[in-house]
């Protein structure tokens, strides 16, 4: 995970139609809260608004086509993910879903990210653990500012302060519980992710090995040009736009000679 910097101004679809739809949900809930809590009434969320092409494209651009959680490149194939789940929430894995979810945030720009279908539909789903579940906002009249989420919000926080990498393996820095829960619940050390990171880092290390062998040969112009080309490639591996950039940054900072600036 890396820090995501979305434009402060939301897409017009959210600012206009999303605001209207949000008020409609809040009004409906206020008329009969108990019916929504026991699912006699259900919200009809408009994916045509929160997942509109303009919204999704803005997220794709802000996130460099990457999943906000696992950092896979997904391009147009991702889902629009609600950080605070809109329909229902779960405090922990295996716990029963509680209704209603954060319905009033279904169209809020700050609550939306781009996620791969695996992270969104198979792993995170309705999970949203809090440090103190008793402080959870359960309707639109309560304040989410009292909540202390255990998941790292990559649009407001820097995940690299909570999660580090030992080679291809993610770990919670200083045993931070939020980092650990984010890793565990989102399965950031799944076998397929570990293997994908391993392959990425293997190539990075091989390039660095070549660079170490060539950079000191200052008398050979062709070798120096090759070294500069390798430096530029290595720099691209740690950019926000690079797949698995957070793991690459950890490897560069801990294992590599200071060659790429």
Q: Is residue 181 part of a domain?
A: no
Same domain membership, residue 228 and residue 148: no
pLDDT at 61: 97
Same domain membership, residue 206 and residue 145: no
- Strand partners of residue 130: 149
pLDDT at 259: 52
pLDDT at 212: 79
Q: Which of 124, 153, 182 is the last residue of a domain?
A: 153
Same domain membership, residue 138 and residue 22: yes
Give the domain extent around 236: 195-255
Q: Is residue 74 part of a domain?
A: yes
- The answer on pLDDT for 149 being more than 80 is yes
Same domain membership, residue 105 and residue 206: no
The percent of residues in the chain predicted with pLDDT above 90, rounded, is: 83
Total residues found in the chain within this entry: 261
The mean pLDDT value of the chain amounts to 93
Once rounded to an integer, what is the mean pLDDT over residues 220-237? 84
Between the alpha carbon of residue 252 and those of residues 146, 228, 235, the distances in Å are 38, 17, 10
Q: What is the pLDDT of residues 85-100, one digit of tens each?
A: 999 999 999 999 999 9
Q: What confidence tier does 208 reach under pLDDT thresholds 50, 70, 90?
A: confident
Once rounded to an integer, what is the mean pLDDT over residues 154-183? 97
pTM of the prediction?
A: 0.92
Q: Is residue 82 part of a domain?
A: yes
Same domain membership, residue 213 and residue 140: no
Same domain membership, residue 211 and residue 88: no
Q: Which of 153, 186, 210 is the last residue of a domain?
A: 153
Same domain membership, residue 244 and residue 134: no
Q: What is the pLDDT of residues 176-206, one digit of tens each?
A: 999 999 999 999 999 999 999 999 999 988 8
pLDDT at 56: 97
Q: Which of 123, 153, 183 is the last residue of a domain?
A: 153
Once rounded to an integer, what is the mean pLDDT over residues 2-20? 97
pLDDT at 226: 81
Same domain membership, residue 108 and residue 32: yes
| Whole-number Å distance between alpha carbons of 124 and 104 | 19
Same domain membership, residue 231 and residue 125: no
Same domain membership, residue 199 and residue 149: no
Same domain membership, residue 207 and residue 148: no
| Whole-number Å distance between alpha carbons of 129 and 149 | 6
pLDDT at 261: 52
Same domain membership, residue 145 and residue 208: no
Structurally, how many domains does the chain consist of? 2
Q: Is residue 184 part of a domain?
A: no
Q: Which residue has the higher pLDDT, 165 or 226?
A: 165
């Amino acid at each position: 995970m890396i820090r995501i910097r979305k434009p402060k101004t939301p897409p017009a679809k959210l600012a206009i139609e999303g605001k209207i739809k949000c008020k409609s949900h809040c009004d409906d809930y206020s008329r009969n809260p108990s019916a929504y809590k026991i699912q006699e009434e259900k919200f009809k969320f408009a994916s045509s608004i929160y997942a509109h092409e303009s919204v999704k494209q803005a997220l794709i651009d802000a996130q460099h086509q990457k999943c906000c959680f696992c950092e896979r490149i997904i391009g147009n194939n991702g889902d629009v993910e609600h950080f605070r789940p809109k329909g229902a929430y779960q405090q922990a894995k295996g716990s029963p879903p509680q209704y209603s979810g954060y319905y009033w945030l279904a169209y809020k720009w700050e609550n939306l990210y781009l996620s791969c279908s695996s992270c969104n539909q198979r792993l995170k789903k309705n999970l949203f653990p809090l440090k103190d579940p008793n402080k959870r906002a359960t309707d639109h009249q309560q304040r989410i500012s009292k909540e202390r989420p255990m998941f790292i919000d990559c649009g407001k926080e820097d995940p690299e302060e909570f999660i580090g990498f030992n080679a291809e393996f993610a770990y919670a820095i200083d045993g931070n519980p939020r980092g650990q829960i984010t890793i565990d619940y989102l399965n950031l050390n799944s076998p397929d992710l570990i293997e994908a990171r391993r392959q990425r880092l293997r190539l990075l290390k091989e390039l660095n090995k070549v660079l170490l062998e060539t950079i000191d040969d200052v008398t050979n112009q062709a070798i120096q040009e090759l070294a500069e080309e390798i430096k530029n490639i290595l720099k691209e591996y740690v950019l926000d736009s690079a797949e698995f950039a957070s793991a690459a940054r950890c490897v560069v900072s801990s294992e590599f000679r200071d060659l790429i600036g």
